[in-house]
Amino acid sequence: MIRANVELRIRRQDTPGSAPYWQVFNAPVRERDNVISVLMQLRQQPVTADGQRVDPVAFEHNCMEEVCGACAMLINGLPRPSCSALIDELDHPIVLEPLPKFPVVRDLIVDRSRMSEHLQRVKAWIRIDGAWEIHERTQRQSQQAWARNYLYSRCMSCGCCMAACPQFGPDKAFVGPAPLAQVRLMNAHPTGRYDSAERLHAIMAEGGLTDCGNAQNCVRVCPKEIPLTTAIGELGRQTTLQMLKDLFGA
């Protein structure tokens, strides 16, 4: 049931290199719509507020339940997943822009491959296959450790924390908060911890942990409430100890 029209101001961009421009739409909204469902509606009738028929707005989405991270964008100036941004809870008009700090592919779609490059840079994986077979299963961990580690495993690589970070950007070396939090997670894993010195060395190089300026926007905007600044503090402690080991011997 269409309940009302809502004004959407959308920053559009036709190709990766082209200049962005703004368009205003009066989109029909139903009860309990979110930004993505409104954009889906709009795609069927891509007509601007002054009656001009335009190309449908390009956007990305997948899970519609805030676990895939694909639909993150700037909504009324703040980065967040658009599937969990309910129209009823937003100030109007609703302003939509592509997630900043990442290159725009088209309209609201950005290229987040830097996220995966940075996850690779900090070795955010667990080595289970060596040159030999490992017959052992992963060791058990305490319920308490499990509960703490679980928080970080919820990261969906949406990039909101990176977009809000003053130290992260296309022209900056900083790996960003999400990859750092994954180092925290992997270093605590019973098998992953065997490679923790390597991960620490990766984040003690250019663009690593020390490029964090403690603005702490990341933890404020993370939709999964991941304790990013706790991870950064814990990695601060781990790198301090690693530095002492490197200086004086392990």
Partner 1 sequence: MTASIDNTHFLLRRLHSLFGLVPVGAFLVFHLWENSQSRFGAAHFNETVVGGLQRLNYLPFLELFVIALPLLFHAGYGLAVIGSGRAEPLRYRFLRNRWYWLQRISGVGLMLFLLLHVGMTRIAGMFEPSIRADLFGHMQQSLSQPPVLALYLIGLWLAVFHLANGLSTAAIAWGLTTSANAQRRFGWLCGAFGLLLGAIGMHGLIGFLAAAGGAA
Please state, in angstroms and rounded to a whole number, the distance separating the CA atoms of residues 6 and 108: 18
User: Of 93 and 227, which CB lies nearer to ligand SF4 in the complex structure?
Assistant: 227
Name which position in 37, 99, 104, 159 contacts ligand SF4 (CB under 6 A): 159
Report the 10 Å Cβ neighbour count for 228.
Answer: 28
Q: Is 181 in the site for ligand SF4 (CB under 6 A)?
A: yes
User: Of 43 and 146, which CB lies nearer to partner 1 in the complex structure?
Assistant: 146
Report the 10 Å Cβ neighbour count for 89.
Answer: 8
Residue ranges in the chain assigned as alpha helix (H): 35-44, 113-121, 143-153, 160-164, 177-188, 196-203, 217-221, 228-248
Q: Is 222 in the site for ligand SF4 (CB under 6 A)?
A: yes
Contact assessment for residue 207 and residue 169, using Cβ atoms and an 8 Å cutoff: no
Q: Which of 211, 216, 124, 204 is nearest to 173 (CA)?
A: 211
Q: Which of 168, 151, 235, 163 is nearest to 197 (CA)?
A: 235
Q: Is 155 in the site for ligand SF4 (CB under 6 A)?
A: yes
Contact positions toward partner 1, by CB under 8 A? 77-78, 164, 166-167, 169, 172-174, 197-198, 200-201, 204-206, 208-217, 219-221, 227, 229-230, 232-240, 242-243, 246-247
From ligand SF4, partner 1, none, interface partner of 201 (C-beta below 5 to 8 A by class): partner 1
Q: Is 180 in the site for ligand SF4 (CB under 6 A)?
A: no
Residue 161 CB, nearest distance to ligand SF4 (Å)?
Answer: 3
Residue 102 CB, nearest distance to ligand SF4 (Å)?
Answer: 11
Span of 43-51, 86-94, 123-131, 219-227 interacting with ligand SF4 by CB under 6 A: 219-227
Please state, in angstroms and rounded to a whole number, the distance separating the CA atoms of residues 69 and 30: 24
CA 114 centroid distance within chain: 11
Residue 155 CB, nearest distance to ligand SF4 (Å)?
Answer: 3
Give contact residues for ligand SF4 (rule: CB under 6 A): 69, 155-161, 177-178, 181, 222, 224, 226, 228
